Amino acid sequence: MSTSVVETSPAPAENAEAKPGHGLREGAFGNATALACRECGHQVDLGPFYACPECFGPLEVAYAFPTVTRAEIEAGPRNIWRYKALLPVPTDIETSPNTEPGFTRLLEATNLAATLGLEKLWVKDDSTNPTNSFKDRVVACALSAARELGSRVFACPSTGNLANAVAAAGARAGIKTVVFIPSNLETPKVVNSAVFTDSLVAVEGNYDDVNKLASEIAGEEDGWAFVNVNVRPFYAEGSKTLGYEIAEQLGWRLPDQVVIPVASGSQLTKVDKAFQELITLGLVEDKPYKIFGAQATGCSPVSAAFKDGKKVVRPVKPDTIAKSLAIGNPADGPYVLDVCRRTGGVVEDISDDEVREAIVLLARTEGIFTETAGGTTVGVLKKLVETGQLDTSLETVVINTGHGLKTLDAVADRVAPAATIAPTYAAFAATGLA
């Protein structure tokens, strides 16, 4: 890297040098310079903070990037750390034990494209991450922050994918990990976290109760890094790597259209942030792109606000099979509205039945078994085509964020053997399947 500084939004502090507080080592957060409020722009030192002390707006990592070249990135490891210069992590990040997530498949989806009537379609498949969802990306960044901040405990409230990712990453890093889940979770989801940690805590209540308890503990205890609470600004940056990878895997160029699921909305806004950074850094050519958000109708506050032309999102009580998207009061909802409107995309939603149909559609056309969140995204893509909201002549990417093995029940009653036969050739011949 050379030392010439490229500025990206949010605008770096006037004094763009890193200002480590709290006894941080030099370069603990790489090229990050501060935490900047997304509402009022006020900046605070890098640390375990997530709300602006001035206006309570959300804090986001600000950087002073040096020149970064494609060659430098391409020479890096085959995981998210190839983009370490663009993340709030130290330059030696790949030497610290972590799950080495990312650089997942970008598959050209010729069959699905033909079925839907699209000219060029890609699936970015994050179901092959270490714990089978995109959460491994964000958790890896949160783990680095926890390490650099000297946290004693690595923790999260979760109902599924996040719990898996935190428990696995914590085990590998050798840091004490405490994961909080609702006590009424299905056995498979419990096992998939409990196998990694002996500090899984079942909480009597729903996810909101678990989340509230996590915030309380974060306030009471010193040295706890709750990935999606007090180190959230660092955690959220991990989603940018989805955007970087899409661009690099397309041969260092941006797609025309991207369809992304919306839970908190963070992933969608970070993919946009990644594209903007790549343009600013000169790593891709500047060109128009449209970002589309996908929700399940049973939890579609952002889609509703988009359709109503509102700038704020009215919370809802979730009721959908797409549980990993079931956030009724999405923190980044307003920013999703901004991004989709600015780029010319939309936010759309589909029914649970359409989610189930889309899971089978993706499996049958491309051999990818997605969870309900991916079903939502593919189903919304289909609806966007059918309603003319997406341009079928433009190159499109759809993001699959997780694995169908985690939400088997969604399709268990929709797919089945074509026939049950005696073990003889005659019995098989009679099925007509030959």
Residues 93-132 that bind its own copies (CB under 8 A): 97, 99-100, 103, 105, 107-108, 110-111, 125, 128-132
Residue 197 in the binding site for its own copies (CB under 8 A): yes
CB of 68 to its own copies, least distance (A): 21
Q: Of the two residues 1 and 195, which places its CB atom closer to its own copies in the complex?
A: 195
Q: Binding marks (x or -) toward its own copies, 44..83, rule CB under 8 A?
A: ----------------------------------xx----
For residue 92, the tally of other CB atoms under 10 A from its CB is: 10
Backbone angles phi, psi at 305, to 5 degrees: -65, -40
In degrees, rounded to 5, the angle at the alpha carbon of residue 350 between the alpha carbons of residues 345 and 355 is 120
Q: Looking at 172, 253, 310, 341, which residue binds its own copies (CB under 8 A)?
A: 172
Q: Of the two residues 186 and 391, which places its CB atom closer to its own copies in the complex?
A: 186
Q: Of the two residues 83 and 369, which places its CB atom closer to its own copies in the complex?
A: 369
Q: Which residues pair with 65 in a beta bridge?
A: 6
Q: Of the two residues 12 and 404, which places its CB atom closer to its own copies in the complex?
A: 404
Question: What are 224's two structure tokens?
Answer: 């706890």
Question: What are 386's two structure tokens?
Answer: 């059918």
Measured CA to CA, the distance from residue 188 to residue 27 in angstroms comes to 40
CB of 348 to its own copies, least distance (A): 24
Q: Looking at 51, 279, 363, 394, which residue binds its own copies (CB under 8 A)?
A: 363
Task: Name residues contacting its own copies, limited to 202-241 (CB under 8 A).
Answer: 202-205, 209-210, 212-213, 216-217, 220-221
Residue 405 in the binding site for its own copies (CB under 8 A): yes
Task: Name residues contacting its own copies, limited to 384-403 (CB under 8 A).
Answer: 403
Residue 168 in the binding site for its own copies (CB under 8 A): yes
Residue 366 in the binding site for its own copies (CB under 8 A): yes
CA distances to 150, 153, 185, 217, 234 from 146, in Å: 6, 8, 27, 16, 9
CB of 296 to its own copies, least distance (A): 19
CB of 176 to its own copies, least distance (A): 9
Q: Nearest CA to 49 among 41, 65, 32, 61?
A: 61
Measured CA to CA, the distance from residue 90 to residue 18 in angstroms comes to 12
Size of the residue set binding its own copies (CB under 8 A): 85
Q: Nearest CA to 131 among 91, 77, 177?
A: 177
Residue 374 in the binding site for its own copies (CB under 8 A): no
Measured CA to CA, the distance from residue 347 to residue 290 in angstroms comes to 11
Pick the stretch among 85-93, 169-177, 295-303, 315-323 that binds its own copies (CB under 8 A). 169-177
Q: Are 126 and 133 in contact (CB under 8 A)?
A: yes
Q: Of the two residues 273 and 403, which places its CB atom closer to its own copies in the complex?
A: 403
Pick the stretch among 1-9, 283-291, 298-306, 420-428 that binds its own copies (CB under 8 A). 420-428
Residue 138 in the binding site for its own copies (CB under 8 A): no
Residue 369 in the binding site for its own copies (CB under 8 A): yes
Q: Nearest CA to 395 among 110, 74, 128, 134?
A: 110
CB of 142 to its own copies, least distance (A): 14
Q: Looking at 169, 175, 274, 322, which residue binds its own copies (CB under 8 A)?
A: 169
Burial of 44: CB neighbours in 10 Å, binned 0-12, 13-18, 19+: middle
Measured CA to CA, the distance from residue 70 to residue 53 in angstroms comes to 38
Residue 24 in the binding site for its own copies (CB under 8 A): no
Which stretches within 225-328 are classed as H helix? Answer: 232-237, 240-249, 266-280, 301-307
Backbone angles phi, psi at 414, to 5 degrees: -110, -20
Q: Of the two residues 312 and 433, which places its CB atom closer to its own copies in the complex?
A: 433
Q: Which residues pair with 225 in a beta bridge?
A: 154
Measured CA to CA, the distance from residue 95 to residue 336 in angstroms comes to 35
Q: Looking at 73, 194, 304, 394, which residue binds its own copies (CB under 8 A)?
A: 194
CB of 372 to its own copies, least distance (A): 13
Measured CA to CA, the distance from residue 265 to residue 280 in angstroms comes to 23
Measured CA to CA, the distance from residue 422 to residue 283 in angstroms comes to 60
Question: What are 81's two structure tokens?
Answer: 């750390």
Q: Of the two residues 31 and 131, which places its CB atom closer to its own copies in the complex?
A: 131
Q: Looking at 192, 303, 377, 396, which residue binds its own copies (CB under 8 A)?
A: 192
Residue 251 in the binding site for its own copies (CB under 8 A): no
Q: Looking at 23, 174, 288, 309, which residue binds its own copies (CB under 8 A)?
A: 174
Question: What are 301's two structure tokens?
Answer: 């506050």
Measured CA to CA, the distance from residue 38 to residue 26 in angstroms comes to 26
